[in-house]
Amino acid sequence: MQLKGIPASAGVAWGRALQIPASSPQRDTRTIAPPHVAAELNRFDAAVDQSGLALAFIQQSLLAEGRMEEAEIIEIQLFLLRDRELVGKARDKISRLRYSSQTALEEAMAEVLHALRLLDPASFRERALDIEDVVHRIIRVLRGEKGVLEGIEGVESLVLICDNLSPSEAVLLNPQTIAGVAVVRGSATSHFAIIARSIGIPAVVGIGQSLQDIRDGQLVLLNGTSGTVTVDPAEGLLEEFEQTQSEAYVLQSGVPLRMPLRTMREGRPLLMSNISSVSEAVTAQSRGADGVGLFRTEFLFLGRDDFPSEDEQFETYRAIISAFDAETPIVIRTMDVGGDKPLALLRMEEEDNPFLGNRGMRISLKRPDLLRAQLRALLRASAYGNIKLLFPMISTLGEWRRTKAVVEETKAALARSGIAFNRNVETGIMIEVPSAAMIADRLAQEADFFSIGTNDLIQYTMAASRNSPSLEELHDPLQPAVLRLIHRVIRSAHDGNIKVSMCGEMAGEMAAFPLLLGMGLDAFSVSNDALSSVGRQLSLQSERWDKYDLRQAAEAVLNLDDATDVRQYVESRFPEIRKATIIPDS
Ligand code: PEP
Ligand code: MG
């Protein structure tokens, strides 16, 4: 069966259909007893405030990502929330007519929509969608219900089928899980279409009610360029699609193809995000990261006149946790200042070579007051989610033992005060100094996990400052010396039964990809703008490449002469990586 609609966002996608029921909240016809009217007004105001906060939060993260057009769409909704017409009318109905908040809002919406239809029939449809979106958001808050997209995830890529997707929901679409969207209503200029185009999710709109006949789980091939949706496509069509998929990663339109995640298997490496703020955590979650592989907390300390208090830090860590499910791993690194991130507040003495001076844990161990405050905040936050603590610039076993001793002392102090925290919180080491890589077998006996920081590991191994562009050749992550160290670290971690991730830029380097897979890296942690490209490669290539080949290649390159030889070897053995470029998300 093929359905025709309006092309709204170019690109081809296929996946299993998932019907999203139109949200039509049950009516609430209660009348409020006079003594309870004031409380109902408070409940209404609180729901409006909460909706405003949620929208502002979404808007902030869109702005932080430079998604200006989408942020403006959310601004319209924020404006509606502040608008006396809608909210004022609803309040009036609660206080004068003793309507429940929900009924009052629905009645107010009906009146506003009626007036709008008369005043401005041309733009009525689109503005009506914004108004309905805002009202449904407030009603969901009043009823304690989830958003329509919450909880949608799967190992297979999905094609969402819906009556209409509101702008504030559309901005949360996760391209890692959602391959495409087919919509009953809408036009190519609707907010939904604009957002689908900017996220790069293929979409067809205005298909009409026949879409409702598609059952959950049916295979769907959606072509957002031609505006067609084919249900249960013939074998040939799918093959043609697969072919296109492996031959070109970018369509002529510049819209990346959505790679079906159906190829993802149990045991594949995790794809994590490197973040430095709460809004980046929200973005990471919306882009489908398996968690946070590195939160650089030093950005909480830099550029201010005072140290952030324990409570302030605690609130930030908790906000990051709350962007994800409680089980999602969130690796938080303690303050890593020094080197190229000097902290004026510390008034450290001038150093000839800051990168080889006081940095990371070297500073924190000398300032136990700061370390304790940060650990207290982190441990308190650990009661709310799956936080793991990561410590930067560990060079010796002694440093690691002293670090762990401070963690244990802090835990004991919290326990004495009856403050909740996760007693089994994991503690891990950044492997970014060659000495740590050389003793990784010993460190693995005393740590819960490793994270390889290649940005520093490479500069220290090659004696080539990471800030010197003219030393590019020495910065190449495919230098055999670097690969040997990484191989050693991963093997030591696995011999010691602990997991190892990589959070340096090398984790997003395509030519290193087969080698890191072959060495058995457990997690790749990359910046948000590389998440979807690396994720696509991870799902596509970890299925395609043979495990034995990967392992053999990872061993073979250790004995090559230089980085150029390694690159040639990798490209001839895994030709797919030549086409696989990282396409940063805008
Ligand atoms: C690294 O060194 O690779 C790392 C991730 O830490 P940073 O870049 O913050 O030094
Ligand atoms: Mg580092």
Say whether pLDDT at 122 is over 50: yes
Compute CA 324 distance to the chain's CA centroid, rounded to the nearest angstrom.
Answer: 9
191 is catalytic: yes
User: Length of the chain in residues, anyone?
Assistant: 586
Candidate from 455, 459, 475, 527 with most ligand 1 atoms within 8 A of CB, to mutate: 455
- The domain segmentation of the chain, as residue ranges, is 2-20+156-232, 34-143, 267-579
Q: Give, for ligand 1, the residue of 299, 341, 432 to mutate: max count of ligand atoms closer than 8 Å to Cβ.
A: 432
Contact 336, 453 (CB under 8 A): no
Cβ atoms 558, 539 nearer than 8 A: no
Q: Report CA-CA distances (Å) from 440 to 219, 335, 391, 446.
A: 48, 22, 14, 10
Residue 262 has pLDDT above 50, yes or no: no
- Residue 251 pLDDT: 29
2-20+156-232 CATH: 3.50.30.10
One-character DSSP codes across 219-288:
EEEEETTTTEEEES--HHHHHHHHHHHHH-SB-TTSPBPPPPGGG--TTPPEEEEEESSHHHHHHHHHTT
Pocket residue to mutate for ligand 1, from 272, 296, 301, 461, most atoms within 8 A of Cβ: 296
Provide the angle, in degrees to the nearest 10, between the axes of the packed helices 397-416 and 368-381: 60
**pLDDT on residue 380:** 98
Atom of ligand 1 nearest to the CA of 504: 3
Which tokens in the block code for residue 318?
Answer: 């908790």
Q: Taking a C-beta distance cutoff of 8 angstroms, is the pair 478, 511 a contact?
A: yes
DSSP code for 150: T
Q: Would the pLDDT of 264 be above 80?
A: no
Confidence band, pLDDT 50/70/90 cuts, at residue 195: confident
Residue type at 367?
Answer: R
* pLDDT, position 341: 86
Q: According to the model, what pLDDT value does residue 267 have? A: 60
Q: How far is the CA of 160 from the centre of ligand 1 (A)?
A: 38
Neighbours of 372 (CB within 10 A): 17
Give mean pLDDT, residues 112-137: 81
Distance CA 377, CA 226 (A): 53
Q: What is the largest CA-CA distance in the chain?
A: 85
Confidence tier at 350 by pLDDT (50, 70, 90): confident
Whether residue 582 is predicted with pLDDT greater than 80 in this model: the reply is: no
pLDDT at res. 422? 97
Gap from CA of 101 to ligand 2 centroid (Å): 52
Per-residue pLDDT at 217: 81
Q: How far is the CA of 513 from the centre of ligand 1 (A)?
A: 19
Predicted pLDDT at 252: 24
Contact call for residues 107 and 157 (beta carbons, < 8 A): no
Check residue 253 and give its pLDDT: 26
Which one is the CATH code of 267-579: 1.20.120.80, 3.40.50.720, 3.60.21.10, 3.20.20.60? 3.20.20.60
Q: Which residue's alpha carbon is nearest to atom 6 within ligand 1?
A: 453
Nearest CA, atom 3, ligand 1? 453
Average the pLDDT over each of 126-140, 403-417, 566-580 and give the range with the smallest value. Answer: 126-140
| Digit-coded pLDDT (tens) for 11-59 | 788 888 888 877 666 777 778 988 899 999 999 988 888 888 888 878 8
Identify the nearest ligand to the CA of 503 by its number: 1
3.10.20.520, 1.10.274.10, 1.10.1200.10, 3.40.50.720: CATH of 34-143: 1.10.274.10
Our CA dihedral for 494, 495, 496, 497, rounded to 10 degrees, sits at: 50
545 close to 517: Cβ distance less than 8 angstroms: yes
Backbone angles phi and psi of 160, in degrees to 5: -80, 140
**If residue 160 lies in a helix (H) or strand (E), which one and from where to where?**
strand 158-162
**586 vs 341, more confident:** 341
With a cut of 50, say whether residue 586 has pLDDT above it: no
Q: What average pLDDT does this structure show over 374-383?
A: 98
pLDDT at 248: 33
Closest-lying ligand 1 atom to the alpha carbon of residue 456: 2
Catalytic entry in 136, 162, 475, 503: 503
Q: What is the mean pLDDT of residues 111-136?
A: 81
Supply the pLDDT for residue 300.
92
Tens digits of per-residue pLDDT, 236-253?
A: 776 666 555 533 333 222
Q: Is the pLDDT of residue 155 over 70?
A: no
Pairwise pLDDT comparison (256 vs 462), residue with the higher score? 462
Mean pLDDT of the chain: 86
- What's the rounded Cα separation, in Å, for the pair 230 and 164? 19
Active-site pick, 136, 162, 191, 475:
191
φ and ψ of 181, to 5 deg:
-135, 130
pLDDT value for 163: 86
Most confident of 3-7, 53-57, 256-260: 3-7
Give residue ranges with CB within 6 A of ligand 1.
294, 296, 336, 432, 453-456, 503-504
CA dihedral sign, ordered 98, 102, 105, 110? negative
pLDDT value at residue 246? 39
Query: So what's the pLDDT on residue 156?
Result: 56
Asked if pLDDT for residue 257 goes beyond 50, the answer is no
Q: Which amino acid is at 499?
A: K
pLDDT of residue 154: 53
Q: How far is the CA of 37 from the centre of ligand 1 (A)?
A: 56
pLDDT band at 152 (very low <50, low <70, confident <90, very high): low
Across 482-497, average pLDDT: 97
Pick the most confident of 273-282, 497-506, 545-554: 497-506
Residue whose pair of structure tokens reads 């998300």 in the numeric block: 585
Average pLDDT over residues 264-276: 76
pLDDT band at residue 393 using 50, 70 and 90 as cut-offs: very high
Q: What tokens appear for 71 in the block?
A: 């942020």
Tally DSSP H helices, then E strands, for the chain. Answer: 23, 16
Over 80: is that where the pLDDT of 296 sits? yes
Arithmetic mean of pLDDT, 93-98: 91
Pair of tokens at residue 424 = 């089994």
At residue 452, does pLDDT exceed 80? yes
What number does the ligand 1 atom closest to the CA of 453 have?
3
pLDDT at 560: 97
What is the separation of C-alpha 408 from the centre of its chain, rounded to a whole number of angstroms? 31
Determine the Cα–Cα distance for residues 282 and 469; give it in Å rounded to an integer. 32
Per-residue pLDDT, 480: 98
Q: Which atom of ligand 1 is nearest to the CA of 392?
A: 6
Rounded to whole angstroms, the Cα distance separating 461 from 474 reads: 9
Q: Per-residue pLDDT for 260 more than 60?
A: no
Q: What SS3 class is residue 18? A: strand
The alpha carbons of the chain give a radius of gyration, in whole angstroms, of 27
Beta strands 292-296 and 270-275: pairing type? parallel
Amino acid at 378: L
Nearest CA residue ID for atom 1, ligand 1: 453
Exposure class string for 146-161: b at 16+ Cβ within 10 A, else e: ebbbeebeeebbbbbb
Instruction: Please give the number of the atom of ligand 1 that sits closest to the Cα of 455.
Output: 3
| Smallest-distance ligand from the CA of 477 | 1
- Name, of 62-76, 257-271, 312-326, the range with top average pLDDT: 312-326
CA distances from 302 to 106, 285, 340 (A): 47, 25, 12
Place of tokens 């409680």: 326
Better-predicted residue by pLDDT, 432 or 197: 432
Q: pLDDT per residue over 178-193, tens digit each?
A: 888 999 987 777 777 8
Local structure of 426: helix, strand or coil: strand
Q: What are phi and psi of 184, to 5 degrees?
A: -65, -50
Q: Are 411 and 383 within 8 A, CB to CB?
A: no
